[in-house]
Structures are given as C-alpha cells and as structure tokens.
C-alpha cells in the first residue's frame, strides 16, 4: 500500500512536469493555432539559464531569485522566438504550417546553442532541499517531489485564474473562439500572440527548471520532453487548462505503472517509454478532442 502511495507521489511529480509542458503548448495553440515543438528546447533554456545563474562565480543569486530570473529569461527567449519565426510569417499571411516549420528550425538552433555553450554533459540544479524521505499524511516522497507538485499547482491556479477571472484571459479565449469578432472588440491580435509566446515560454522554462530537479539533463532533453508534453495535451484535451494537468497525470501514472508492473505480465519494463506514444495514438484516433472537451463543444 505504501508502495502504491509512493508511486502516486512520484507519478504526480513527473505528471506535473508533463502537465506544465502541455500547458505551455496550450497557451500558444489556443489563440494562434500554432503547435510549437520548440517548447522542449525552451525548457532546456530555462534549466540551463538557472544552472548558469546558480553556479557562476560573478553573480551569485539566491536560489529562488535565480529560478525566477531563469524563467523570466525564457519568457524573453519566447518573445524573440515569436518575433523571428512567427510574426513575419503570420503577417505575410502564410499558412499555419509555415510558423510550425520555422519553429522546428528554431528548435535546432536552441539545441545546438545550448550544446555549444554548456557542452554535451548532463547538468542538474543543486537540490533545494535534502533528499531524505518525508511524509505528508499517508503520502511519502522526497521534498523535491512535493516542491514540484506545489509549484505546479501554483502555476496552474495562476493560469486558471488568468483565463477565468481576468479580462485579458477572456480576450485570449475570445481570439481562440472567433478572431474576427475579437478584433472588432478592439483586442490587439498581435499583442495576444506575443503574450501567448512569452507566457508559453516562461511556463516551459519553469517546467525545465523543475525537470532538472529529478535527474541531470543534457542538451538533448528537449525533444523527448516536448513529445511527452504533447502526448499529455492530446490525452487531456487542447481546449482547457485543466486538461493539460489531467493529461500529464494520466500519462505519468500510466508510465510508472508500466515501468513497475509490466515485468510481472511479461512485458519488458522499458516499454513504459512507449506509453506516451501509445496513448497519443489511441486518443488521436478515438477521441481527438481529448478527455476534456473545449467549452464551445459542451455548450
């Protein structure tokens, strides 16, 4: 029983990271329709920026401040990415595939730049807390797991409040629902695109920072994380913030259950790596809207 509860905590913490990456996609897809596979590289940017800020000798920053600065820096990178690879194409009236492909080019640029600057070795952030086991009620896990879960919960609540409670969140939603009507309200479409990319990048950067707490990561970490995050999004549904975290949790749980128990039914435990792809294929074919349908479909 405690075994299961421990698995739940560790699944929840990796589910949080998938959920954050899924959220990063979602924030950009909703108003612009652009699927940006460079989110994984953004996560790497966040991680390596945090690593740099925490380990350099010239500018020693307190831990929390370094993380915040790294996330802000990733947001800035998001703005630059948008400015270079998205806005010129959108304003030229290129089909949506144009920015998606240009962003694949950006992906290569980010990845190689990181490898150029930081080398091919894996890095991880110094752990903020010890690695001892702690218990929270019946749940046992490392402080790291609870830190990840807490931070993710905060981000999701924040983003959820933004969409549900602020007029700018409503404006995002309005652009997603009906671009032309949104423009008639006076919503600045260009500014919404910028906000989506800056916000998406910051969320991805934060996911990267948290991701590095669980294990050392190298410059190649981006694409696998991007694919897993996208699987989470497909499972949870592209329409709603809650879908991203739900998808992330389901995905992580399925992965960890396979890793732990597949051996017992004769499947190599490494097959758990295939779980996201299997889930993605199943959901694409059987339920392309994901578990949570967007509100317009429910209305």
Partner 1 sequence: MLELKGVSGGYGAANVLADVSLSVGKGESVALLGPNGAGKSTLMAAITGTLVRRGGGILLEGRDLAPLASHDIVDAGVALVPEGRQIFAPMSVRDNLRLGAIRLGARPGHSLEERYAFVFELFPRLKERAGQRGGTLSGGEQQMLAIGRALMSAPRLLLLDEPFLGLAPLIVVEIRRALAALQESGLTILLVEQKIDVALAMTRRAYVMIKGRIALHEESGALARRGDLANLYFALAAKAE
Partner 2 sequence: MTRAAPWLAAAAAMIAVAFLLKDFGYYSDQYRKLMLWVALALGFNFLFGIAGQVAFSHFAFYGIGAYAVVILTFKAGLPLGVAVVLGLALCAVLAIAVGIAATRLEGFYLALATMAFAQLFLVVLTEGGAVTGGAGGIANYRLPALELGGRRFTLTGPYYTSLIALVLLATFFVFWRLDRSYFGRACRAIRDNPEAAAAMGVDVARTKIVVFTVTSVLAGAAGMAYAFVDNIVNPPVFGLENVFLLLFMVIIGGSGRHAGAVVGAILLYMLPYVLTPLIGHHQALVFGIVMVAAMLFRPDGLVGVYDRLRARYGRGAA
Selected from 43, 54, 174, 254, the binder of partner 1 by CB under 8 A is: 174
Task: Pick what 167 binds: partner 2, partner 1, none; C-beta below 5 to 8 Å, kind-dependent.
Answer: partner 1
**Which CB, 157 or 183, lies closer to partner 1?**
183
Q: Which of these ranges, 93-101, 129-137, 153-161, 198-206, lies near partner 2 under the rule CB under 8 A?
A: 93-101
Q: Which of these ranges, 16-24, 92-100, 194-202, 289-297, lies near partner 2 under the rule CB under 8 A?
A: 92-100
Which of the residues 183 through 242 are near partner 1 (CB under 8 A)? 183-188
- Would you count residue 234 as binding partner 2 (CB under 8 A)? yes
For the residues of the chain, what is the DSSP string, one character each? -HHHHHHHHHHHHHHHHHHHHHHHHHHHHHHH----TTHHHHHHHHHHHHHHHHH-SSS---HHHHHHHHHHHHHHHHHHHIIIIIHHHHHTT--THHHHHHHHHHHHHHHHHHHHHH-SS-B-PPPSS----EEETTEEE-HHHHHHHHHHHHHHHHHHHHHHHSHHHHHHHHHHH-HHHHHHHT--HHHHHHHHHHHHHHHHHHHHHHHHHHS-B-GGGHHHHHHHHHHHHHHH-SS-HHHHHHHHHHHHHHHHHHHHHGGGGT--GGGGGGHHHHHHHHHHHH-TT-SS--HHHH-
- Would you count residue 108 as binding partner 1 (CB under 8 A)? no
- Would you count residue 104 as binding partner 2 (CB under 8 A)? yes
- Would you count residue 106 as binding partner 2 (CB under 8 A)? yes
Site of interaction with partner 2 (CB under 8 A):
35, 84-85, 88-89, 94, 96-98, 100-102, 104-113, 115-116, 223, 227, 230-231, 234, 268, 270-271, 273-274, 276-278, 280-281, 284-285, 288
Site of interaction with partner 1 (CB under 8 A):
167, 170-171, 173-174, 177-178, 180-188, 294-296, 298-299
């Amino acid at each position: 029983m405690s075994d299961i509860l421990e698995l739940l905590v560790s699944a929840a913490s990796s589910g949080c990271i998938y959920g954050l990456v899924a959220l990063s996609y979602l924030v950009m897809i909703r108003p612009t329709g652009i699927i940006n596979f460079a989110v994984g590289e953004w996560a790497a940017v966040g991680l390596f920026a945090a690593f740099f800020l925490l380990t350099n000798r010239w500018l020693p920053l307190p831990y929390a401040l370094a993380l915040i600065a790294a996330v802000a820096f990733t947001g800035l990178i998001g703005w630059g990415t948008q400015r270079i690879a998205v806005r010129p194409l959108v304003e030229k009236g290129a089909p949506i595939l144009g920015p998606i492909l240009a962003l694949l080019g950006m992906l290569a640029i980010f990845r190689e730049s990181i490898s150029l600057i930081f080398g091919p070795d894996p890095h991880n952030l110094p752990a903020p807390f010890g690695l001892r086991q702690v218990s929270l009620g019946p749940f046992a896990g490392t402080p790291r797991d609870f830190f990840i879960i807490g931070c993710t919960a905060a981000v999701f609540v924040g983003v959820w409040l933004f969409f549900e409670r602020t007029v700018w969140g409503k404006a995002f939603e309005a652009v997603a629902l009906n671009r032309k009507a949104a423009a008639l309200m006076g919503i600045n479409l260009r500014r919404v695109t910028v906000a989506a990319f800056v916000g998406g990048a910051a969320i991805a950067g934060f996911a990267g920072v948290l991701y590095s707490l669980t294990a050392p990561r190298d410059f190649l970490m981006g694409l696998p994380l991007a694919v897993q995050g996208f699987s989470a999004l497909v499972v949870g549904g592209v329409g709603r913030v809650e879908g991203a975290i739900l998808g992330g949790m389901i995905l992580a749980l399925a992965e960890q259950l396979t890793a732990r128990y597949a051996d017992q039914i004769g499947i190599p435990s490494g097959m758990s790596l295939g779980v996201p792809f299997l889930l993605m294929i199943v959901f694409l074919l059987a339920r392309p809207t994901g578990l949570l349908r967007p509100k317009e479909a429910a209305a």
